[in-house]
Amino acid sequence: MANRDIVVIGASAGGVDALRDLCAGLPSDLPAALFVVWHMPSESLGILPQMLQPVSSLPVANAVHGQPIMPGTITIAPPDHHMLLEKGRVRLTQGPRENRFRPAVDPLFRSAAYNCGPRAIGIVLAGSLDDGTSGMWAIKDQGGIAVAQEPTDALFPGMPTSAIRNVKVDHVARARDMGELLVRLTSEPIELPEPHRPTNLGIELGSAAMMTTDDRDMGQLGELSQFTCPECHGTLWRIYEDKIVRFRCRTGHAFSSETLLNELTESIESSLWQSVRGLEENASLLEHLGNHLRERGGDGVADEYLRRAEDTKARAQFLRRAIEENGEKG
């Protein structure tokens, strides 16, 4: 018999408070290794261990490539690196971003599902959008346990809400109560079936580890879509996991449906603002030419330029109102 000795935790916006509450409830003899991805900018200083250690009875440190997996420790993904779990060790990579982040939650969760199976416990804490949902689905699919923060307990409830909506989570709890829950879950004996490592998980983990994928690999993951990658502009493949729909390009960039929608919406707004700028610059030039010609007696042509300037200003104002109304609806 074995026990659940691998705990992977994902957090984003508002996640530091949740992580502090979770860590504060952990005993010093917890028989499991904890791994944390907190979405952060690539240029961050990696100070999350210093923020968590004062409230944790377990040692907290940033991951080092190749370090052994040790129970009774909390390991943090460092800035600008995905953290993957392999057989008995930690792997750091600078593979393609997922949902615009590196480190990202889903690669860590998938690696725990692939290499640890029923031994893994996945926890989704506070954050926006739906990061972590796909990785949580993989953990459940491989026999692990899924835990989500109670959305009303999260400063930003998007991530746990998405996990609860799309995955059959086993437990929903406040962050401060998760320590007690983990003590119980990690002490329960479990049977380990023969490992089953789905090909699609292996392909995606290979992508996170900077391995090349080809059309055959991508065809195993999903189907070609009409969308292109917001990062490298390559074709995106559409991947289905029960209720979850997400996207990945051959390079390895990956997007949840909500993140891709967000990216496309921002791209449209950016294009509209470029149109506004072009129209307003056009109107300014027409106005300048019209006034210049009027000063020199060319009233007929000047009037035409000034009329066109007013029409162009009106079109620019129409676009500005459209952008404002779209923002209010969003």
Burial of 240 (0-12, 13-18, 19+ CB in 10 A): exposed
Q: What is the DSSP string of 228-279?
A: E-TTT-PEEEEEEETTEEEEEETTS-EEEHHHHHHHHHHHHHHHHHHHHHHH
Please indicate whether residue 39 is annotated as part of the active site. Answer: yes
Please indicate whether residue 82 is annotated as part of the active site. Answer: no
* Active-site pick, 5, 39, 207, 256: 39
Alpha helices for the chain (secondary structure H): 15-24, 48-52, 105-116, 133-141, 158-166, 178-187, 199-208, 215-221, 257-295, 299-329
C-beta separation of 243 from 133 below 8 A: no
* Active-site pick, 5, 12, 21, 162: 12
Please indicate whether residue 12 is annotated as part of the active site. Answer: yes
Angstrom distance (rounded) from CA 223 to CA 93: 27
Backbone φ, ψ for residue 23 (5° rounding):
-65, -35
What's the angle, vertex CA 263, arms to CA 260 and CA 265, rounded to 5? 110
* Active-site pick, 131, 162, 217, 253: 131
What amino acid positions are annotated as catalytic residues? Answer: 12, 39, 131
